[in-house]
Structure 1
């Protein structure tokens, strides 16, 4: 057989395999004869699978049979290029199976339950571990808890599939893909663990951003929460560029300090009167601050806000809470505020 024809067959069979797929070094390279056999035997099954998926017939029995035929064909030829092709199509077909049975959506609902601690038993197992050994042990020991949870949240198709293919799920979750990681099931299913945290942060962050626009300064540690969310997402390439950009923009917005005197002043006032987590500034202590109670009456509010009449106390607080631009005009704005207060006092009716 001519060398050019052999080269053609080699290139044809290699195109079936993901070049990033790694196999055991002990597996020998295919001989020219094995390449011919692989090309002749397996190309029909590959073409059948391609036609079925291109036609959108991904949920039929025909696709399942085609997947089995392709992987069995390449698996029957014991050489490196055929093994790579087998591994490539195993991963492609697993992804197709998981999609057809809504496994990814089911896992997202499971992760949400674990994150929100809605099912007590989930707290006994480290399902979110990034150590693949610990993760597998957790899913193995926590199998009954897993099914108890998804029976309440997932559709019957997903549950039935996972009951029959639980070991396959564990393999996908705990064995990194040796192909294109960014399009792998392993990356997607593990990345979805970040979604409950990301969703909670983005909702709370948007609420906080709105509150801040009205002068209310939230006391929650958004910088820490933002960093934790970004760190989780950075482990995977599943998330779109648009999603990561939205998160970055929100984090940037929440990290900004008030840029006007009035906004900063109102933020300090609202934070001080927060009955859930009131702000506490050192220079307040000399005014005999007492624990906040609810409802806030006028007398208590007046006592609480005495420190806001202390110019140097407010200057100190604003150094911490406000943008430098506020400090640059502090004296001017403070004098203006005092004039407004005096004006309101002098015009107030005695009756």
Structure 2
């Protein structure tokens, strides 16, 4: 008798799924036909749109289309009312909720928050917590104990700073957002909300650094204080980028290159490299030894070329200026503008 009761209990577990307090049996063949034929195409369209949306800030029409498809998928699977369809509905709901946190206004608000944290010129409570720590445990403690401060900042934000619907989403999903901000993304696949939110911290620094970079380039007459400030911020940016999996080698190389180029802007080496670049001197034709694969001999060849074209001073500290040297020679260094 006990065995019979146990078998009946196992059968009930197999044929009944419980979701949000409601019980659903496994789908019938007719329901499965609807499941695959009616809902499947809508879900595939949503997945294709999601996969093709590489930009974290897509156009509003794309976000609206994604939201519309999310609702259609939920309605379709939810209307069939059997175990597999409800499971599918819940899976899609979770992914769509994540989409709302990943695309559109919410990331902009997170980025704006980091900007306020860096500036600390209006919200004094931001000074009391280590929101910018690269130690994930320390950062989690900051966002947990500083929750009321974060909410104050978002609640007092202007419409042009942070969208009201996005603020509401952040309120409702704060614990989840803290997880995204404080989980080590290097141990996971580099995609989704988690690495994006961590990159936003760096993007605030990068925006300021690029602005300073543009000013330095356009000015042409920079003080040592301006250059020192630019280099200091660049080091902060490089440190931040090293903790994000979303930055490409090219992006990191450009920051490193601009740091070196700025540091040696007025040096004899840079003047010589500029001369080579502007006059389009075919250095490989004039100095065939540059093709030498032996590092020591190739370095000696570079020194000879610099001394002959620009004087002995241009060859000083060659190893320190190697990256800019390769760029000036057009040696296909991976640099982006």
TM-score range, shorter chain: 0.5 to 0.7
Deviation at 1:258, TM superposition (A): 2.0
2:209 touches 2:234 (CA, 8 Å); kept in 1? yes
For residues 36-66 of structure 1, what are the alpha-carbon distances to aligned partners after superposition, in whole Å with 9 as ceiling and x for unaligned? 9xx9897675543222455752123x51573
Corresponding residue for residue 325 of structure 1:
313
TM-score, normalization by structure 2: 0.53
Corresponding residue for residue 161 of structure 1:
169
Corresponding residue for residue 142 of structure 1:
146
Q: Relative to 1, partners in 2 of residues 1:125 and 1:66: Cα closer, same or farther, differing over 3 Å?
A: farther
CA distance in 2, matches of 1:115, 1:158: 21
Worse overlay, 113-122 or 225-234: 225-234
2:46 touches 2:66 (CA, 8 Å); kept in 1? yes
CA distance in 2, matches of 1:69, 1:175: 34
Corresponding residue for residue 183 of structure 1:
191
Count of matched residue positions in the alignment of Structure 1 and Structure 2:
227
Question: 3-state DSSP class of the match of 1:220?
Answer: helix
Corresponding residue for residue 126 of structure 2:
122
2:109 touches 2:166 (CA, 8 Å); kept in 1? yes
Deviation at 1:102, TM superposition (A): 1.4
Rg larger in 1 or in 2?
Answer: 1
Question: 3-state DSSP class of the match of 1:58?
Answer: helix
Q: Relative to 1, partners in 2 of residues 1:259 and 1:135: Cα closer, same or farther, differing over 3 Å?
A: closer
Aligned with residue 113 of structure 2, among 110, 114, 133: 110
Residue 243 (structure 2) pairs with residue 249 (structure 1): no
Question: 3-state DSSP class of the match of 2:190?
Answer: helix
Residue 57 (structure 2) pairs with residue 63 (structure 1): no
Residue 193 (structure 2) pairs with residue 199 (structure 1): no
Q: Relative to 1, partners in 2 of residues 1:126 and 1:246: Cα closer, same or farther, differing over 3 Å?
A: same
Deviation at 1:325, TM superposition (A): 1.9
Alignment of 1:1-351 (within 5 A): 47-52=41-46, 54=48, 57-60=65-68, 63-64=70-71, 66=73, 92-99=95-102, 102-118=105-121, 119-151=123-155, 152=157, 153-176=161-184, 181-211=189-219, 213-214=220-221, 216-218=223-225, 220=228, 222-240=230-248, 243-260=251-268, 325=313
1:172 touches 1:186 (CA, 8 Å); kept in 2? yes
CA distance in 2, matches of 1:133, 1:238: 21
Deviation at 1:257, TM superposition (A): 4.9
Deviation at 1:113, TM superposition (A): 0.2
CA distance in 1, matches of 2:206, 2:118: 11
Corresponding residue for residue 331 of structure 2:
none
2:131 touches 2:139 (CA, 8 Å); kept in 1? yes
TM-score, normalization by structure 1: 0.51
Question: 3-state DSSP class of the match of 1:237?
Answer: coil
Cα RMSD, aligned residues only: 4.5
1:126 touches 1:138 (CA, 8 Å); kept in 2? yes
Deviation at 1:240, TM superposition (A): 5.0
1:88 touches 1:179 (CA, 8 Å); kept in 2? no
CA distance in 2, matches of 1:224, 1:68: 53
CA distance in 2, matches of 1:176, 1:87: 26
Deviation at 1:128, TM superposition (A): 1.9
CA distance in 1, matches of 2:170, 2:240: 26
Q: Relative to 1, partners in 2 of residues 1:215 and 1:122: Cα closer, same or farther, differing over 3 Å?
A: closer
Q: Which consecutive residues of structure 2, in runs of 5 or more, have no partner in the other structure?
A: 1-25, 50-61, 272-310, 317-337
